[in-house]
Amino acid sequence: MEGLRESLGHLLRKVRSERNLTILELDEVTAAHGHRVPRSRLSLLERGEAPIRIDDLLALSRAYGFPMLDLCAEAVAMRSPEVFPGEWEAGQFFEEGKRLFDVGKLQIAGWAFDAAAEKAGSYDREFAGLARTSACHCYDRMGAKRLAMRRNEQALDILDGGCDAFKRAIGKRAVLLADFRAFGRARVYLDASLAALDGGVSPDLKAYLLDSSASTFHLLGELTSATEHSLRAARLYRRLGDYDWTALKLAAAATYLAEQGKVRQAQRHAHDAEGLLEEVTRVDTRVFVLTALGTIFVADGEPESAREHLEAAYRVAKKHDLTARAREAGEVLERLAEERGDGAERRRWKTRLARLSRANLEWSLLEPTCGKGRISDSGRMP
């Protein structure tokens, strides 16, 4: 929790400085909004030395004119100036973000992409928008949905409507809106993505839009279309030589088929994904494939095979601090223990899940309940 407090402290200092307020003035402003946060506590909060309380955050959000959920979300993205070399250019930050994403360091990867966007600024708006979309993917994978949405909005705000980066951003927008259960708005962006596909785009962008459309269809409950688009994306990724995303979309398609009761077809695609694991370099993809295999074995009535794959997914996710992925596998394992009447094992998993360190400030303060509770299987890096 200390790291979260420090991140929030950095953010509170930054916002107060931007508002040109002293600690004393902020004390008075919070009092005027109905809940005084004393100077002594403000100082402790800004140094990351005080417990985080919702009533304090509400008062500060009112004082700053900054929605509390956005305040919480942005704290995840606050980074110490020492994290990256200050002399790096935008491209160097972007490449570092890709490297960190591949090894499962999602939060720091998000910071690197944010830094790339800030460096690019207004002189290269398309690159800045691409970097914001990349940060969006990182935060979405962490489960920081609100922060992901903010980065997506920032990308759309600066991008020209005709460029490829804009089309990527609208594809991701559809997924995020569907995950927030804003299904009507999600459909608008999904239709725009499908229109872009029909209009003719590069193979790389086509794979990306098929990928995001599959995830949106899944969240909308349209499993046949989700499966079709996921398999089309997998075939195109394979032709492009991107085996990580091939494996991920095969595993996603397998999951969708299992949800339709088509377990034999699901197993075929899941084992195809498993066969690519030797080629997979990204930690997050490996965990997703193992979790998908586990859930399919559950559907097929093979609890021991399910347990083996889910425990492997949990171990890898926990080792690399992929808390959201670890929680997803752990919850299925807890349910399996309950179904076989193993009370001791169920309690062990319950304890492990309770001890998982929260991956972001949203989970520390306000547990998100977006969509189906699953971490997105979409999000190929732009």
| Per-residue pLDDT tens digits for 171-217 | 999 999 999 999 999 999 999 999 999 888 899 999 999 999 999 99
What does the alpha-carbon distance between residue 303 and residue 337 come to, in Å, rounded to a whole number?
Answer: 10
Q: What is the pLDDT of residue 262?
A: 94
Taking all residues of the chain, what is their mean pLDDT, rounded to a whole number? Answer: 87
Domain boundaries, the chain: 2-66, 90-365
Tell me whether domains 2-66 and 90-365 share a fold.
Answer: no
pLDDT band at 365 (very low <50, low <70, confident <90, very high): very low
Q: What is the pLDDT of residue 144?
A: 79
Q: What is the pLDDT of residue 361?
A: 40
Cβ-contact 138, 109 below 8 angstroms = yes
CATH topology for 2-66? 434 Repressor (Amino-terminal Domain) (1.10.260)
pLDDT band at 368 (very low <50, low <70, confident <90, very high): very low
Cβ-contact 294, 310 below 8 angstroms = yes
Whole-model pTM? 0.78
Q: What is the pLDDT of residues 38-86, one digit of tens each?
A: 999 999 988 888 887 878 888 888 888 877 767 776 776 776 667 788 7
Q: Which of 382, 377, 368, 322 is nearest to 144 (CA)?
A: 368
Helical segments of the chain, H only = 2-18, 23-32, 39-46, 54-64, 68-76, 90-102, 106-120, 125-142, 145-158, 164-179, 183-198, 203-219, 223-240, 243-259, 263-274, 283-299, 303-319, 323-339, 343-355, 361-365
Superfamily assignment of 90-365 in CATH?
Tetratricopeptide repeat domain (1.25.40.10)
Residue tagged 């349910």 (tokens): 335
